[in-house]
A and B are shown apart, each in its own frame.
Chain A
Amino acid sequence: MATQTAAKPAKANILQAINAAIADAMEADDNVVVLGEDVADPEEGGVCGVTKGLSSRFGDARVRSTPISEQAIVGAAIGASLVGFKPVAEIMLMNFTTVAMDMIVNHAAKLRFMSGGQTHVPIVIRTMTGTGFASGGQHCDYLEAWFAHTAGIKVVAPSSPRDAYGLMRSAIDDPDPVLFIENLPTYWTPAEAPEKDHRVPIGKAKLLSEGSDITIIAYARMIQEALPAVAQLAEAGISAELIDLRTIAPWDRDTVLASVARTGRAMIVHEAVTPFGVGAEIGSVLNEELFGKLKAPVKRLGGAFCAVPFSKPLETAFAPQTADIVAAAKALMA
């Protein structure tokens, strides 16, 4: 990847985009450092190769493979950030953030506030997750609501290579901790390549399609399920607006509220289980702000309330699919 930075192809996948974003950030600022399990080149640049090439290019002082010690990884990132570094720490899979919860929730998210602004924690915690690769209950949870519920940490989840690049650059620039959620099953899908130094602001959603009947709010892999749903709904005479949230915390209330005020109907789609999820928060705000304008109750469409199953048909049924989105939208129109 690193060797391709000079002349970038017009197409890139998310994995390449994140790699390029970290490389470009490291090139621009010596304080950007990378750590995590297997992240350096002798260890193959991470299990999926997201950080491949970085240690060869920037040296193994700045790109360090760690022991399997999630608390130590996030702790080291926090400590280095307190003294001016901008660490990009990889937690191999999102379920393993649970092992480092103390460091993330009690320390990274709170040190700025508890110190009255004297210290701050400009770290990026990169992590991967997503159903669809047959890993069962402990390797593919979306836990974004846990972090979004914690004051002091930002949460982003890009769905395209351009956004992945732009959000990663913004996350590294950000003076506060950012949890960067990568969707593993979408890593290798080629799409429009980002240009160097492209930025996507944290906290800004993207309107992917305009519509007048219903607003569908989604992020990460659910965008891939929602795009064909929008096309199918159009064929059925329903005009759907699709918003890619991109940033979960803080979410783009202005864009979402403006859209739902126009369409009068809203559905939030996420891969995380439905109860107590991001959909509940957004739905609640929509009710509070747009009570008189809603033509139907706000709909939440999330994963089933169970551990992610291994068996293929169950795994597929776990997360919302295009057909579910279409059916739910039609029900809202009825």
Chain B
Amino acid sequence: MTNRAVPDAGTQIEIYRRMALIKANDERSRKVIMTGRLVMPYYSPRGQEVIPSAISVSLTDEDYVCTIYRGSHDQLAKGLPLKDLWAEVAGRTTGTCKGKGGPMHVTYPTKGIMVTTGIVGSTMPIANGLAWGSQLRGDGRVTVANFGDGAANIGAFHESLNLASVWKLPVIFVCQNNEWGEHTAYDKTSNVRVADRAAAYGIPGERVDGNDPFAMYAAAREAIERARAGEGPTLIEAMTYRFHGHVFGDQDAYMDKDRKARAMADDPVPRFRARLIADGVASEEQLVAMEAEIEAQIDEAVEFALASDFPGVEELKRDVFAEELN
């Protein structure tokens, strides 16, 4: 495609900041679990940093996002404060959801993070409804539905793309194709590209290098502009690779060692960092300072979370319905 949008210097640095935040947060999460300070199911987004970082710089707090259990990258990129996230995954009352959602169900409407689901394929039907709301109000908001390549084989995917197409909804379906659905490789579960399925519903579909911030930024911008202009949904298949096993503790014996080593050697985070410096967009000192600042924020968030109170048992009865029932 010609004349694709290119992020300006400030935007490039902001994309990198979000990527660095996600990477540092992932590394810290693994460490905190490993040292036994925290017990939680943890689905690492390591390797997938570019996708939400390059999309979210073109979104506002008012735009909506739905994501999945492997969603801390999507949440952080969309602006979820670290303290709220850490307190939630630690099950504390200071968390986004008072500790009642946990890592797989983080909600934070203040930044448009409307649903995080543990059910594969379920972001898409709900994202349609959020987008329908925007369409009815004419408020120009865009909804991003994130999901994995495995989710593209669920019925809800097909129902949702079709409905979004006939209703011309301002929604962007972002398939983060990390080549794995739990322990099963994508090519064992489907013979077609996810992006190609868009044609079946008469909507634009594009396969992008999801580890290239420029390509991802350009594709996202076009989808966002199309949605804001009332031209309907877009399907983006962002190609990436999951660096770790499906869930923390998974020994990843099913993953091809060479493929994994290659992916990790081509880590998109240091790669983009080097590019920013080579292009003169940012200096080494500037990035070091940024990364130190991120580490300090994570330190603070972890300590805040672990020092926070657990919710009282009265919370069992609260938030089941608006009113408390017996």
Contacts and interface: CB of A to CB of B under 8 A. Distances in A.
Question: Which of B129, B133, B318 has the most chain A CB atoms closer than 10 A to its own CB?
Answer: B129
Contacts of A176: 321-322
B129 A79 contact: yes
B163 A112 contact: no
B132 A79 contact: yes
A113 B125 CA distance: 20
Nearest to B139: A83
Given A69-B159, A69-B163, A114 B105 contact: yes
Interface string A65-98: 0110111101111111111110100000000000
A61 B136 contact: yes
Contacts, number: 149
Interface in A30-80: 33, 61-62, 64, 66-67, 69-72, 74-80
Given A61-B136, A81-B129, A111 B159 contact: no
A67 B119 contact: no
Q: Kindly state the interface size class of chain B when it binds its partner.
A: 35 or more
Contact of A151 (B114, B129, B163, B320): B320
B319 A106 contact: no
B58 interface: no
A81 B125 CA distance: 13
Contacts of A79: 114, 125-133, 143
A107 interface: yes
B196 to A, nearest CB: 21
Nearest to A151: B320
B119 A120 contact: no
Contact of A107 (B115, B132, B135, B166): B115
A161 to B, nearest CB: 27
B156 A115 contact: no
Contact of A120 (B98, B134, B322, B325): B322
A174 B323 CA distance: 10
Given A103-B122, A113-B320, A116-B100, A80 B132 contact: yes
Question: Which of A62, A77, A117, A154 has the most chain B CB atoms closer than 10 A to its own CB?
Answer: A117
B133 A80 contact: yes
Contacts of B98: 116-117
Contacts of A69: 159, 162-163
Given A112-B319, A115-B107, A176-B322, A102 B119 contact: yes
A71 B156 contact: yes
B81 to A, nearest CB: 14
A152 interface: yes
A137 interface: no
Interface string B143-187: 100000000000110011011001100000000000000000000
A72 B159 contact: yes
B321 A75 contact: no
Nearest to B101: A114
A255 interface: no
A102 B100 contact: no
B101 A116 contact: yes
Given A79-B125, A79-B128, A67 B109 contact: no
Contacts of B318: 117
A132 to B, nearest CB: 31
A40 B109 CA distance: 32
Nearest to B108: A118
A85 B133 contact: yes
Nearest to B125: A75
A108 B95 CA distance: 21
B56 interface: no
Nearest to B112: A83
B160 A82 contact: no
B61 to A, nearest CB: 14
A79 B135 CA distance: 12
A92 to B, nearest CB: 15
A82 B163 contact: no
B96 interface: yes
Given A75-B156, A118-B107, A33 B114 contact: no
B97 interface: yes
B163 A116 contact: no
A107 B319 contact: no
A159 B156 CA distance: 34
Contact of B126 (A64, A82, A117, A250): A82
Contacts of B162: 67, 69, 72
Nearest to B156: A71
Contacts of A106: 117-119, 122
Contact of B125 (A33, A71, A175): A71
Nearest to B105: A114
Question: Which of A82, A84, A85 has the most chain B CB atoms closer than 10 A to its own CB?
Answer: A82
B208 interface: no
Interface of A: 33, 61-62, 64, 66-67, 69-72, 74-85, 87, 102-103, 106-107, 111-120, 151-152, 154, 174-176, 250, 253
8 contacts: A67-B163, A76-B128, A85-B133, A113-B320, A114-B100, A116-B99, A117-B319, A175-B322
Given A75-B156, A103-B125, A116-B99, 14 more contacts: A77-B129, A78-B129, A79-B132, A103-B122, A106-B118, A106-B119, A112-B322, A115-B97, A115-B105, A116-B101, A116-B319, A118-B107, A151-B320, A250-B325
Interface of B: 64, 95-101, 105, 107-109, 114-115, 117-119, 122, 124-136, 143, 155-156, 159-160, 162-163, 166-167, 318-322, 325-326
Going nearest first, the 7 A-B pairs with the smallest beta carbon separation are: A79-B129, A75-B125, A116-B98, A116-B97, A115-B107, A69-B159, A72-B159
